Structure 1
Amino acid sequence: MADHYEVLGVARDASSDDIKRAYRRLARELHPDVNPGEDAAERFKLVTHAYDVLSDPDQRARYDMGGDSAFGGAPGGFGGFSDIFETFFGGGGGGARGARPRSRRERGQDALVRITLDLKDVVFGVHRDIEVDTAVLCETCSGSCCQPGTSPVTCDICHGTGHVQRQVRSLLGNVVTSQPCSVCQGYGTTIPYPCATCQGQGRVRSRRTVSIDVPAGVESGLRLQLPGSGEVGPAGGPNGDLYLEVNIAPDPVFSRDGDDLLATLEVSMPDAILGTHTTIDSLDGPVDLELRAGVQSGDVLTIKGRGITPLRGSQRGDLRVGVQVVTPTRLDHRERALIEELAKRTKPAPPRLSEFHQGLFAKLRDRFRNG
């Protein structure tokens, strides 16, 4: 026969509180509802018997003097299940005491909607009305799940507790367990006359319009959260959240670099040589631009405050325009003569090797980054 103190893992001079704590720890570990193994069931039987003996001062004293033989020794029945269920559930042997029925009202699921924005929307922000196909409150029953004029009734099987008890014979004797009522599904009530519109769900699928204000500065892949704009929960439960995943459509003229906008300006060779004044169309209107004489391909002109407003800020970025000088490919006789005359007068240096660049756009990119 195993020593009761060793079974509980306590010293022989352990206090009653120490014994109780050791028993609770082992009982939670070995209880058949938690650990269905045969070895666990046998150990649980020994642990419970040891606790029954050592928790009673008289029986403990008799055990200390003569062991189990002082009072029958065999761990057969143990002093009732009330101590076990008090350990696990904080009450007597009722099993389901303190348990509450489930609520039909639950939080709705979150919804995800993807929206595509133009680059101009990113610069200034935009207001959008979007269509969302999701669950909404049933207008017929207003979330009660019942036909109008009716209401849920108390389940006559669990009497409103949502749980039923049953006895199971085991190595430990008759064990009382609690489980959700199969008739009311744990709600404690049944709905004899479900709403015909929502089939007793309290919600229906519908398309609805959600108005949103997308702030300036968003980026592709960013998700915006709209609390409480997702689907309504069962039985009219609180709404989940709506998430908007942003995608930015490519712009044919402008590209983005952080809070700055980038563009390329094609300039004729005479304008590059002599300089010129021009007007370009930015995303928020025309902008006057002065090109100095002798501007080179790859030069970057910066226009302050014509970029993107940051997501968390107010100072707009810049519009940075890279120059690309366009060399004419078709010249008539007179034009060619003028170019030849210019070449004679200026005596340009012959072509020579310089720093390698992978094309004009690589050069512009480097200028953008360093400029």
Structure 2
Amino acid sequence: MAKRDYYDILGVPKNATDEDIKKAYRKLAMKHHPDRNQGDDAKKAEERFKEAKEAYEMLSEPQKRAAYDQYGHAGVDPNAAGVGGGFRGGPEGFGGFAEAFGDIFGDIFNSGRRGGGAGGPQVYRGSDLSYAMEITLDEAANGKEAQIRIPTWDTCDTCHGTGAKPGTSAKTCSSCNGAGTVHMRQGFFSIQQTCPHCHGSGKVIPEPCTTCSGAGKIKRQKTLEVKIPPGINEGMRIRSAGNGEPGTNGGPPGDLYIEIRIKEHEIFERDGDDLHCTVPVGLTTAALGGTMEVPTLGGKAEIELPEGTQHGKTFRLRGKGIKGLRSSYPGDLYCHVAVETPVKLTDQQRKLLRELDEALRKGGDKHSPNAKSWTDRVKDLFK
């Protein structure tokens, strides 16, 4: 099946900014993350999650995006025919050509390569891993220390990392004579590619270890301590160096990126360093005024309601927001008044409200500050 267009996957146009691409990926990652989808939809969600991750990894890197925009999937797929008619993309197939033309092609097609070459096995850095961590708004504001479990590779206890069955050993690959690469002719070019027999290691194992199947390592779970700094925001990432996938042929491991997801708070909404909340106020309190207690992330605060407070009135409490990672001072808390209309009234209460309404009517528009302007706007509609 042909691959879908990366821009279509993320739902962004081809001229989308880096920030647009990042926002689109975050939205899809949250929607299709395996932890959020169980049951019959789990497999489909996992496929969508991987598809979005691949699209983001390509379009978030300027060089990869440039190659994709010019050549499509062939420009970034190591298994596709690439530029120049017949050259394979990726570090395995573009070797000599990339080296001849320097960083222009080397950065695009050999970004994972670290050392090696004709004199020895090809060495590659391990892939980076991503982990989504969900925290509360309070934890985001105050920081926390957490433990997560991630997959890791340990040396096989049976073969001690050799990959060979105990009592046997690996042998030099006869196809590449231990170089890890072979040369192929493409017209007048000599193309260097990873040896297909030893896969770049320069050695073959006649009798693989039965415990690790010749890999020399086994997969286990590792507990990692993570420190969440105070003020972290939605979508920010914490880098844990060296905790990604292991490298190939002795290459350095990749990194682990912990992406922060903040749970929805039952009271507050965050806007940068500021917080917003809706404060319900009774009809009598709004009319007569008074002191009202409101919650904050750090405790409680008081608001002085003036007489005649209207629905939608906003009160600002300075310094009651969140102190961001790069902020010198905390943000503010904005309290939005929602005047509540009484319900389930008794007959006596209804009578009192009607008497109050009649008395207010006799006072004219002075008791209803918005009534006159609203009436004028309605009249203008019928002129």
Question: Which whole-Å CA distance do the structure 1 matches of 2:216 and 2:307 have between them?
Answer: 74
> Structure 2 length as normaliser, TM-score?
0.55
Question: Is 1:315 aligned with 2:329?
Answer: yes
Does the C-alpha gap of structure 1 residues 119 and 179 become closer, same or farther in structure 2, counting only changes over 3 Å?
A: closer
> What is the deviation of 1:328?
2.0
Q: Match for 2:204 among 179, 190, 193?
A: 190
> What is the deviation of 1:254?
1.3
Structure ranking higher on relative contact order (CA contacts 8 Å, 6+ apart): 1
Question: Which whole-Å CA distance do the structure 1 matches of 2:321 and 2:171 have between them?
Answer: 64
Written as runs of structure 1 = structure 2, the 5 A alignment for 1:264-303 is: 264-303=278-317
> What is the deviation of 1:345?
6.1
Does the C-alpha gap of structure 1 residues 139 and 290 become closer, same or farther in structure 2, counting only changes over 3 Å?
A: farther
> What is the deviation of 1:222?
3.5
Deviations 1:306-362 (Å, cap 9, x if unpaired)? Answer: 212213224211111011222324443544454455556664434635369xxxxxx
Question: Is 1:223 aligned with 2:242?
Answer: no
- Report the equivalent of 2:129: 111
Q: 5+ unaligned residues in a row in structure 1: which ranges?
A: 1-34, 38-87, 89-97, 357-371
Root-mean-square deviation (CA, aligned residues, Å) is: 4.0
Written as runs of structure 1 = structure 2, the 5 A alignment for 1:356-367 is: none
- Report the equivalent of 1:349: 364
Q: Is contact 2:121–2:178 with CA below 8 Å preserved after alignment? A: no
Question: Which whole-Å CA distance do the structure 1 matches of 2:85 and 2:286 have between them?
Answer: 87
- Report the equivalent of 1:253: 267
> What is the deviation of 1:266?
0.8
Q: Is contact 2:121–2:249 with CA below 8 Å preserved after alignment? A: no
Question: Which whole-Å CA distance do the structure 2 matches of 1:245 and 1:108 have between them?
Answer: 19
Deviations 1:151-171 (Å, cap 9, x if unpaired)? Answer: 5444466654456799x9xx9
Does the C-alpha gap of structure 1 residues 279 and 177 become closer, same or farther in structure 2, counting only changes over 3 Å?
A: closer
Q: Secondary structure of the equivalent of 2:141? A: helix
Tell which deviates more after alignment, 250-259 or 339-348.
339-348
Does the C-alpha gap of structure 1 residues 204 and 279 become closer, same or farther in structure 2, counting only changes over 3 Å?
A: same
Counterpart of 1:260, as a letter, is: D
Question: Which whole-Å CA distance do the structure 2 matches of 1:102 and 1:329 have between them?
Answer: 79
Deviations 1:194-221 (Å, cap 9, x if unpaired)? Answer: 3332222233233322222233444433
> What is the deviation of 1:262?
0.5
Counterpart of 1:212, as a letter, is: V
Question: Which whole-Å CA distance do the structure 2 matches of 1:212 and 1:177 have between them?
Answer: 45
- Report the equivalent of 1:66: none
> What is the deviation of 1:144?
3.6
> Structure 1 length as normaliser, TM-score?
0.56
- Report the equivalent of 1:127: 145
Question: What number of residue pairs does the alignment pair up?
Answer: 257
- Report the equivalent of 1:138: 155
Question: Which whole-Å CA distance do the structure 1 matches of 2:351 and 2:201 have between them?
Answer: 96
Question: Is 1:207 aligned with 2:221?
Answer: yes
Counterpart of 2:154, as a letter, is: L
Counterpart of 1:123, as a letter, is: A
Written as runs of structure 1 = structure 2, the 5 A alignment for 1:21-40 is: none
Deviations 1:110-148 (Å, cap 9, x if unpaired)? Answer: 11222223222322233322222x341224245443456
Written as runs of structure 1 = structure 2, the 5 A alignment for 1:4-23 is: none
Question: Which whole-Å CA distance do the structure 2 matches of 1:236 and 1:230 have between them?
Answer: 14
Question: Which whole-Å CA distance do the structure 1 matches of 2:161 and 2:340 have between them?
Answer: 69
Tell which deviates more after alignment, 319-328 or 214-223.
214-223
Counterpart of 2:364, as a letter, is: A
Counterpart of 1:109, as a letter, is: S
Question: Which whole-Å CA distance do the structure 2 matches of 1:236 and 1:163 have between them?
Answer: 16
Counterpart of 2:163, as a letter, is: C
> What is the deviation of 1:241?
1.1
Does the C-alpha gap of structure 1 residues 128 and 348 become closer, same or farther in structure 2, counting only changes over 3 Å?
A: farther
Written as runs of structure 1 = structure 2, the 5 A alignment for 1:41-120 is: 99-103=118-122, 106-120=124-138
Deviations 1:13-63 (Å, cap 9, x if unpaired)? Answer: xxxxxxxxxxxxxxxxxxxxxx999xxxxxxxxxxxxxxxxxxxxxxxxxx
Question: Which whole-Å CA distance do the structure 2 matches of 1:240 and 1:178 have between them?
Answer: 25
Q: Is contact 1:202–1:236 with CA below 8 Å preserved after alignment? A: no
Does the C-alpha gap of structure 1 residues 185 and 261 become closer, same or farther in structure 2, counting only changes over 3 Å?
A: closer
Counterpart of 2:121, as a letter, is: R
Does the C-alpha gap of structure 1 residues 353 and 115 become closer, same or farther in structure 2, counting only changes over 3 Å?
A: farther
Does the C-alpha gap of structure 1 residues 187 and 308 become closer, same or farther in structure 2, counting only changes over 3 Å?
A: same
Question: Which whole-Å CA distance do the structure 2 matches of 1:261 and 1:250 have between them?
Answer: 13
- Report the equivalent of 1:233: 247
Larger gyration radius, structure 1 or structure 2: 1
Does the C-alpha gap of structure 1 residues 215 and 328 become closer, same or farther in structure 2, counting only changes over 3 Å?
A: same
Q: Is contact 1:144–1:235 with CA below 8 Å preserved after alignment? A: no
Q: Is contact 2:152–2:222 with CA below 8 Å preserved after alignment? A: no
Question: Which whole-Å CA distance do the structure 1 matches of 2:352 and 2:320 have between them?
Answer: 40
Does the C-alpha gap of structure 1 residues 112 and 177 become closer, same or farther in structure 2, counting only changes over 3 Å?
A: closer
Question: Which whole-Å CA distance do the structure 2 matches of 1:271 and 1:228 have between them?
Answer: 59
Q: Is contact 1:106–1:238 with CA below 8 Å preserved after alignment? A: yes
